[in-house]
């Protein structure tokens, strides 16, 4: 019997219940044993084209390549164009604007406290939950992952190790990618080693401890690499010396180090005997960055753009006990689909409020059958990042509204993505009815999201909470320069002050 048929026999009743999101019956011991662990590894600022398996001619990513071969690969999988927005959509199963996330800084990266996370849902379903790396959805205590469903938290602050922005968004002082001080369950820990090595090591330690308890786990490993600054272990930077400019060599080195860590993680899962019943997902958090100079897989645009290159990322899924690997799925899928997929797989029982929150669809039918029917849908990409107070003026600026075939960009350009995946030819005049359809969907969407933008005028604190906590634990305090940088009233960051007139 094929794997998929075995799965169908084993899972059909449980899945039907979960699909309907009806109140599930209490699980028997046998059903409990079948629920898989979930490991989600997400690289930062690494694009679709930054992997050898996706055609990059220079980088070496043997572990991700081998994993992709064993996986179901989504070939039209979209995230948001920047860091915090993608993390928010992933955590909530809905567009990030619905949770007030319209930027990566200036308090606009804070995920609404009204929103329920997939970690909360999995935790309520009996999963142990851990995060290792970059949270980037609010650095104040009430926004931190330990209050948003994670049992184990091992995270840096802000959108990157060592960052300082005015208000709440900032990491511990003095941090670099080497031996950073990391907030571990509310207490800072001085680490030893390169950041990616440190995050994987802690994730592995935690999973090793949890597996002894027999509980299924959700390990979320959102790395800060290969976001700038391009700090990379020298041995990795040297691999592309002479072949690529120094910045690119470092960027590729960061990814190759991540690839080695990912391979070591896969080996651990296998050695623990958990390979068969663990769902592992590998993806990235937005489109490509400096790697696009070498290869962008034929796409237009990169991070912080509304074009395909800004949002289309690798998305590899492997769960040997759950579905066959080695297949491509062409259906239009997105990060918002991960919440309902994980919830269904875990047999979770989302509340009415959660069901209303989630916009995505479970990907399980596609994972089990890549050719499964998949109704067309409209997905909105909006880069956000407008100057504070200017949202109305940016309604049609840096946005893309798309279905499986067409993308309407800024209400001025229409692309036929099937005929023209590189988005080179504007066909707006040839398909006015398609543009009108997408525009109408967007107009409705825009009216819905406006009242949800709760962070637009918020003025953050004068001291980054991570830094305040660090100085409380270790002593010390800010010098005048640091004080000025953190204070929203005195910072020189453009847009960092509250709008004065209104």
User: Which residues of the chain form contacts with Ca ion (CB under 5 A)?
Assistant: 44-45, 83, 285-286
Nearer of residues 149 and 310 to Ca ion, judged by Cβ: 310
Nearer of residues 289 and 423 to Ca ion, judged by Cβ: 289
Per DSSP, the residues of 432-499 read HHHHHHHHHHHHHHHHHHGGG-TTTT----SS-HHHHHHHHHH-----HHHHHHH-TTT--STT-SPP
Nearer of residues 181 and 284 to Ca ion, judged by Cβ: 284
Nearer of residues 102 and 357 to Ca ion, judged by Cβ: 102
Cα 112–Cα 409–Cα 98 angle in degrees, nearest 5: 10
The distance of closest approach from Cβ of residue 286 to Ca ion in the complex, given in angstroms and rounded to an integer, is: 5
The distance of closest approach from Cβ of residue 88 to Ca ion in the complex, given in angstroms and rounded to an integer, is: 12
The distance of closest approach from Cβ of residue 228 to Ca ion in the complex, given in angstroms and rounded to an integer, is: 10
Which of 68, 34, 28, 33 minimizes the C-alpha distance to 48? 68
The distance of closest approach from Cβ of residue 45 to Ca ion in the complex, given in angstroms and rounded to an integer, is: 4
Nearer of residues 56 and 284 to Ca ion, judged by Cβ: 284
Q: What does the block give as tokens for 462? A: 């004068």
User: If you ran DSSP here, which 8-state letter would residue 404 be given?
Assistant: S
DSSP β-bridge partners for residue 416: 406
The distance of closest approach from Cβ of residue 271 to Ca ion in the complex, given in angstroms and rounded to an integer, is: 31
Per DSSP, the residues of 286-355 read SS--GGGGT--TT-S--TTSSSHHHHB--EEEE-TTTS--SEEE-S-EEGGGHHHHHHHHTT----HHHH
The distance of closest approach from Cβ of residue 419 to Ca ion in the complex, given in angstroms and rounded to an integer, is: 30
The distance of closest approach from Cβ of residue 46 to Ca ion in the complex, given in angstroms and rounded to an integer, is: 8
Tokens 């299924």 sit on residue: 216
Using DSSP, state whether 220 is helix, strand or coil: strand
Peptide bond into 126 cis (omega under 30): no
Nearer of residues 283 and 348 to Ca ion, judged by Cβ: 283
Question: Which region holds residue 77: left if phi is over 0, alpha if psi is between -120 and 50, else beta?
Answer: beta
Closest residue to bound Ca ion by CB: 83
Nearer of residues 91 and 204 to Ca ion, judged by Cβ: 91
């Amino acid at each position: 019997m094929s794997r998929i048929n075995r799965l169908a026999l084993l899972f059909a009743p449980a899945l039907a219940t979960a699909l309907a999101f009806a109140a599930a019956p209490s699980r028997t011991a046998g059903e409990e044993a079948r629920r898989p662990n979930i490991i989600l590894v997400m690289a930062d600022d690494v694009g679709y084209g930054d992997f050898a398996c996706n055609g990059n001619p220079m980088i070496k990513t043997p572990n991700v390549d081998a994993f992709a071969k064993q996986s179901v690969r989504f070939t039209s999988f979209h995230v948001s164009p920047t860091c915090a927005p993608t993390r928010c959509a992933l955590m909530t199963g809905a567009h990030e604007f619905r949770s007030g996330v319209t930027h990566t800084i200036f308090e606009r990266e804070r995920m609404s406290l009204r929103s329920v996370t997939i970690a909360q849902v999995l935790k309520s379903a009996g999963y142990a939950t851990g995060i290792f790396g970059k949270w980037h959805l609010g650095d104040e205590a009430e926004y931190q992952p330990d209050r948003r469903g994670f049992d184990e938290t091992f995270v840096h602050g802000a959108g990157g190790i060592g960052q300082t922005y005015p208000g709440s968004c900032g990491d511990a002082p003095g941090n670099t990618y080497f031996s950073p001080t990391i907030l571990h369950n509310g207490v800072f820990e001085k680490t030893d080693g390169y950041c990616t090595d440190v995050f994987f090591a802690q994730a592995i330690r935690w999973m090793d401890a949890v597996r002894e308890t027999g509980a299924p786990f959700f390990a979320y490993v959102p790395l800060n690499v290969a976001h700038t600054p391009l700090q990379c272990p020298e041995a990795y930077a040297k691999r592309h010396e002479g072949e690529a400019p120094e910045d690119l060599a470092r960027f590729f080195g960061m990814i190759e180090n991540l690839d080695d860590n990912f391979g070591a993680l896969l080996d651990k899962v296998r050695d623990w005997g958990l390979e068969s019943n663990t769902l592992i997902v590998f993806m990235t958090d937005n489109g490509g960055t400096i790697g696009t100079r070498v290869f962008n897989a034929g796409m237009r645009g990169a991070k912080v753009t509304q074009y395909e290159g800004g949002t289309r990322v690798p998305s590899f899924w492997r769960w040997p006990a759950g579905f066959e690997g080695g297949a491509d799925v062409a259906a239009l899928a997105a990060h918002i689909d991960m919440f309902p997929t994980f919830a269904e797989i875990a047999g979770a029982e989302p509340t009415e409020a959660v069901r209303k929150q989630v916009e995505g669809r479970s990907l399980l039918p596609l994972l089990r059958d890549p050719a499964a029917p998949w109704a067309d849908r409209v997905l909105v990409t909006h880069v956000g990042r407008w100057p504070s107070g200017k949202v109305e003026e940016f309604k049609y600026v840096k946005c893309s509204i798309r279905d499986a075939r067409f993308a309407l960009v800024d209400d001025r350009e229409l692309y036929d993505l099937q005929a023209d995946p590189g988005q080179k030819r504007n066909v707006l005049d040839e398909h006015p009815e398609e543009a009108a359809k997408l525009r109408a969907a967007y107009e409705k969407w825009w009216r819905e999201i406006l009242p949800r933008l709760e962070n637009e005028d918020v003025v953050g604190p004068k001291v980054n909470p991570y830094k305040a906590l660090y100085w409380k634990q270790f002593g010390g305090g800010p010098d005048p320069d640091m004080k000025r940088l953190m204070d929203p009233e005195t910072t020189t960051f453009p847009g960092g002050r509250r709008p004065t007139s209104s």
